[in-house]
Amino acid sequence: MGNAGERKRQKRISAPKVAMIKRKENTWTFRIKAGKHKKNTGIPLGLIVRDYLGFAETAKESLFMINNGYVLVDGKTIKGGNKYITGLFDVISFPEIKKNYRIVFDKKGRLIPLEIKDLKDKICKITNKTQLNKDTIQITLNDSRNIRIPLKEKDKYKVGGSVKISLPEGKINEIYELKEGNISYVIHGKHAGSEGKLVAIVPATMTKPAIVKIASKEAEFETTSENTIIIGKTKPEVELFGGK
């Protein structure tokens, strides 16, 4: 038999683990549409508007809000409706009521909207770097954003490091390297949602990724560099717990 195409519905029981939903209370939830984040690391915008924040009572109401510009993501109107995927550090804004929320992890590794003061910036991890021509390189960020950089500045931007970009312009304002002493935020694994000082790095090998040791307020632990994102030099440069 032929493939019937992509499924249009999503059962709560099989929704991504990063979604904070009551999985056995109802059967269905919003299905994520492929986009700038991987499906297992993002949550649908409709879930945030209706279920998390309660700004809509039905899927139809949240769809109307999104499609008519009452909801912005990273300072811009978007297409995709309730299924639009949002992920780590995306900023969800409601201009009419002057409310802004940043997507962060809770202590159980679930993505949640945290109310913040404004939407002026966002931190993104550098996931790839490619030379386009003799004068330009391109860095790719964890939200699929591509930014072109003069070749002479290539050594400033290293895979595994992070950049702070302005919203909605996307201009790079700060660069944070993956190095000892900087502040790291855990985005995968049992320590997801924890932040602390990066105290040691074990370089990667041909078969193993780099291992980092992080000292948080609660404990000192190890994880892979792939599970972290650098968020500052001496302190977090992004709101994580309701204020800096």
Supply the CATH number for residue 221's domain.
2.30.30.30
Cα distance between residue 113 and residue 105, in whole Å: 9
pTM of the entire structure? 0.84
Confidence category of residue 241, pLDDT binned at 50, 70, 90: low
Per-residue exposure over 46-68, b if at least 16 CB sit within 10 Å of its own CB, e if not: bbbbbbbbebbeebeebbebbee
Structurally, how many domains does the chain consist of?
A: 3
Cα distance between residue 182 and residue 197, in whole Å: 6
Kindly report, residue by residue over 49-60, the tens digit of the pLDDT. 988 898 989 989
Supply the CATH number for residue 140's domain.
2.40.50.740
Q: Are residues 172 and 212 in the same domain?
A: no
Q: Where are the alpha helices (DSSP H) in the chain?
A: 45-46, 59-67
Cα distance between residue 161 and residue 174, in whole Å: 11
List Cα–Cα distances, 46 to 38, 154, 160, 171, 211, in angstroms: 17, 39, 31, 28, 36
Contact 183, 231 (CB under 8 A): yes
Cα distance between residue 176 and residue 174, in whole Å: 7
Q: What percent of the chain has pLDDT over 70?
A: 84
Residue 161 lies in a domain: yes
Residues 6+ apart with CB under 8 A from 65: 49, 55, 56, 71
**Parent domain of 49:** 10-116
The label of the residue with tokens 């409709």 reads 46
Residue 3 has pLDDT above 90, yes or no: no
Nearest CA among 233, 191, 234 for reference residue 213:
191
Kindly report, residue by residue over 159-190, the tens digit of the pLDDT. 999 999 999 999 999 999 999 999 999 988 88
Contact 116, 102 (CB under 8 A): yes
Kindly report, residue by residue over 75-108, the tens digit of the pLDDT. 999 888 888 988 899 999 999 999 999 999 887 7
Residue 239 lies in a domain: no
Q: Are residues 189 and 95 in the same domain?
A: no
Cα distance between residue 1 and residue 3, in whole Å: 7
Residue 130 has pLDDT above 90, yes or no: yes
Tokens of residue 155, six digits: 């050594």
